[in-house]
Amino acid sequence: MKACASGNRVTGSSRRPGPPSSSALPVSSRLVVDLGALRDNYRALAARGTGAECAAVVKADAYGLGLEPVARALVGAGARTFFTAFTAEAVNLRALLPDAGIFVLSPSLESDAAALLRERLVPCLYDRAGVEAWSALGTAQGVRVPAAIHVETGIHRLGMSEGEARALGREWKADGGRWLDLRLVMSHLANGDDPKARSNRVQLERFRGLRSLFPQVPASLANSAGVLLGPEYHFDLTRPGISLFGHDPHYRDTAPRVRPVATFEARLAQVKHLRAGETVGYGATFTCPHAMRIGVVLAGYADGLPRRMSSSEGKSPLRLAIGPHRVPVLGRVSMDMTVVDLGSVAPEDAPPGTMVEIFGPSVSIESVAERAGTIPNEILTGIGRRVPRVYVNEDVSLSGAG
């Protein structure tokens, strides 16, 4: 894709130069991605790494923000190593970044072996069967095949047991890693987002013991939350993901260490005046206690607004933003629309066509996630594909780099 002269870019049904404004894009909603903030976040997290290399986790289409522009921005900030979840994602990334180191966290060797070899990808092997299959392929090809070893330390997802890891360590030392070129020993924290969790220290000690089985092989334990736990957790390589995109997993509201990257906003399509006693939305779950001015916003759960954001008795409603004003959600979020109370906004400040911020600099993604009973990762990756992504502060010098 070629960047606009201004460094802003739109993906979707249309492209227009210049910064986004409420009248620039004829769309119902949009996700504005600040690539300058993304680069700043990467540099800030890399600086916390106490000498460790800072990789970038870009699985799930770069957490829903778009793999191509995000990857190029991260390269511009200094990233040289990347992680994806699946091989297909890594193949797409390799087409963009021919020289990057790319690890695949959840490879399927039965179907992906040829692509892994062809694209110079590094599978993260999590059991002995995978190690044996990958080593056998190296033997058949007469080459040392690159791999990472993912060891289990307490999260109990993918990961090699301690017994398997110790057996592999003995074998690897005995044959000098003849067919297996180990690039990394890694594990994953279960409670890194809670600095007080005792399990963090337990996993750290287990990991220290297991990585010692593979001397001279680089080690990695810290995800986004682990980076913020401190130097003991950094080892040789850190792997931030969600923090790159603006969420501090330790929820520090003062002196934030990362900046919001994404702003999700939608158009106010209609303003209505209701009488006391009239109801709003499916199920008539909200009844006007008095005469009210309401607004219909063109975004709903098909666009990534969880239906659990709907207003309900006993809970304070989520408040979206129109400029400096906060407007409560009324009734149920539907597939394509959400209704808000415009009583706190002067009519001239909220005419039809006004863009309403769902999350971004004014409404934190954390507050949206909390109201929906989930986490920012799910909110961000759940933004629907019909929502155009608009890229601002793009490094034009990298836009055509291969």
Note if 282 is an active site residue: yes
- Domain map (residue ranges) of the chain: 1-34+257-402, 49-245
Q: Are 109 and 146 in contact (CB under 8 A)?
A: no
**Active site residue: 2, 42, 59, 196, which one?**
59
180-186 vs 219-220, strand pairing mode: parallel
Q: Are 305 and 358 in contact (CB under 8 A)?
A: yes
Token couple for 238: 């850190």
Instruction: List, in order, residues 6 or more apart from 46 with CB less than 8 Å away.
Output: 54, 77, 78
Note if 2 is an active site residue: no
Q: What is the pTM of this model?
A: 0.90
**Active site residue: 173, 251, 272, 282, which one?**
282
Assign domain 1-34+257-402 one CATH number from 1.20.140.10, 3.90.1150.10, 3.40.50.2000, 2.40.37.10: 2.40.37.10
49-245 carries CATH number 3.40.50.11540: no
> Please, what is the Cα angle at 326 between 260 and 355, to 5 degrees?
70
Token couple for 102: 């790319």
pLDDT (tens digit, 0 to 9) for every residue of the chain, 402 residues total?
Answer: 333 333 455 554 333 334 444 445 467 999 999 999 999 999 999 998 888 999 999 999 999 999 999 999 999 999 999 999 999 999 999 999 999 999 999 999 989 999 999 999 999 999 999 999 999 998 888 889 999 999 999 999 999 999 999 999 998 888 767 788 999 999 999 999 999 999 999 999 999 999 999 989 999 999 999 998 999 999 999 999 999 999 988 876 444 578 999 999 999 999 999 999 999 999 999 999 999 999 999 999 999 999 998 987 667 889 999 999 999 999 999 999 999 999 999 999 999 999 999 999 999 999 999 999 999 999 999 999 999 999 999 875 554 444
Token couple for 259: 């900046």
Q: pLDDT by residue (tens digit) across 261-270? A: 999 999 999 9
Please provide the size of the chain in residues: 402
